[in-house]
């Protein structure tokens, strides 16, 4: 709606996990390298965690864009209210395997498929998103999938992604066998205050705009105070601010407008007594 007013080809702060808009902060760059390394080197179990809105899904998409084309990927997104059989059914469906009647049949079919993949020189990856929703029973089922291996090769690379609660679950004594199998692990941190401007600049430039012509200097402070460095919240605020500035025909956008919108959004999200900008 406001793109042409600010000289953009497309929305700069769309929340879709488009890898083009991923700005590689130190924590995102390290996470991307860890995922690509773990998948291509067949490391088996990998763990990617981060708070809501820190860019886990976008980072995953970027990693998948960088891995070799001889890699087949299955992505399980629906992790709520599953039974062990449901989970295996979802995994099998992603790998285009026929429906089976039992867990044993699914394991046999998966093992056969994975051996064929290996014989054909292919790497196979299973990504389970929002894995913090899996209970101990299901996480143990995932561990058993990692047993599908030869004497020298991991037949299936498994990436678990989720919120910090996932790490807490894996620390439980009953899941120690799974925890010990995690070969690659990365936790995405929030952006630092001095990284906010680079994040905003990158997204605007990818969308075809000029950051310095859109925001007045100093706006980054308000973005950080509102978001605490969460990329999704930064994007939400930027979108709301640009829409308001478009309606008022303001360019560059005054820092005072960013602060005003940040306060409004903080009050709507947290309530006026918990306004992050006031304390």
Is the Cα dihedral 34, 39, 43, 44 positive or negative? positive
In this structure, the number of other CB atoms found within 10 A of the CB of residue 235 comes to 23
pLDDT of 279 strictly over 50: no
Whether the bond between 252 and the residue before it is cis, its omega within 30 degrees of 0, is yes
For residue 275, pLDDT over 60 is answered with no
β-strand partners of 72:
124
Domains of the chain in sequence order = 26-188 (3.40.50.300), 191-269 (1.10.8)
The owner of tokens 């990158």 is 202
- Distance from C-alpha of 32 to C-alpha of 56, rounded to nearest angstrom: 10
Burial of 178 (0-12, 13-18, 19+ CB in 10 A): buried
What are 187's two structure tokens? 């936790």
Query: Looking up tokens 């209210």, which residue turns up?
Result: 81
Residues 6 or more apart whose Cβ sits within 8 Å of residue 130: 77, 79, 80, 161, 162, 163
- Listed ranges 149-153, 190-194, 264-268; the one with the highest mean pLDDT: 190-194
The pLDDT score that the predictor gives to residue 270 is 73
| Residue owning tokens 């044993």 | 104
Which residues, including other chains, have CB under 8 Å from residue 86's CB and lie 6 or more apart? Answer: none
The pLDDT of residue 27 is above 60: yes
Q: What is the pTM of this model?
A: 0.91
Identify the helix (H) or strand (E) that includes residue 219: helix 219-227
Average pLDDT value for the chain: 93
**pLDDT on residue 149:** 87
Burial class (CB in 10 A: 0-12, 13-18, 19+), 101: exposed
Summarize the chain as % helix, strand, coil (round to 5): 55, 15, 30
Pick from 202, 231, 230: which is nearest to 214 by CA?
A: 202
97-137 pLDDT tens trace: 999 999 999 999 999 999 999 999 999 999 999 999 999 99
Nearest to 125 by CA among 63, 210, 216: 63
Q: How many CB atoms lie within 10 A of CB 109?
A: 17
- Does residue 21 contact residue 134 with C-beta atoms inside 8 Å? no
Number of other residues whose CB lies within 10 A of the CB of residue 69: 6
What is the tens place of the pLDDT at every residue in 66-81?
Answer: 999 999 999 998 888 8
Cβ neighbours around 82 below 10 Å, total: 19
Instruction: Inform me whether the pLDDT recorded for 89 exceeds 70.
Output: yes
Question: What DSSP character marks residue 130?
Answer: T
């Amino acid at each position: 709606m406001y793109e042409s007013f600010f000289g953009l080809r497309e929305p700069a702060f769309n929340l879709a996990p488009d890898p083009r808009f991923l700005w590689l902060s130190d924590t995102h760059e390290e996470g991307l390298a860890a995922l690509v390394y773990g998948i291509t080197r067949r490391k088996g179990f990998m763990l990617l965690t981060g708070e809501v809105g820190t860019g886990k899904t976008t980072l995953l998409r970027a990693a998948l864009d960088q891995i070799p084309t001889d890699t087949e990927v299955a992505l399980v997104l629906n992790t709520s209210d599953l039974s062990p059989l449901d989970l295996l059914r979802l995994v099998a469906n992603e790998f285009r395997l026929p429906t089976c009647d039992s867990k044993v049949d699914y394991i046999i079919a998966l093992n056969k498929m994975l051996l064929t993949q290996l014989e054909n020189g292919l790497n196979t990856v299973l990504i389970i998103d929002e894995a913090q929703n899996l209970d101990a029973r299901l996480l143990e089922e995932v561990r058993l999938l990692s047993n599908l291996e030869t004497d020298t090769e991991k037949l299936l690379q498994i990436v678990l992604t989720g919120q910090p609660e996932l790490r807490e679950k894996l620390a439980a004594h009953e899941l120690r066998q799974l925890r010990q199998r995690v070969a690659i692990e990365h936790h995405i941190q929030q952006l630092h205050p001095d990284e906010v401007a680079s994040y905003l600049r990158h997204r605007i430039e990818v969308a075809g705009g000029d950051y310095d012509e859109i925001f007045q200097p100093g706006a980054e402070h308000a973005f950080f105070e509102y978001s605490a460095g969460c990329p999704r919240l930064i994007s939400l605020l930027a979108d709301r601010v640009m829409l308001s500035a478009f309606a008022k025909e303001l360019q560059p956008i005054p820092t005072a407008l960013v602060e005003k919108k940040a306060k409004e959004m903080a009050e709507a999200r947290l309530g006026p007594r918990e306004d992050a900008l006031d304390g």
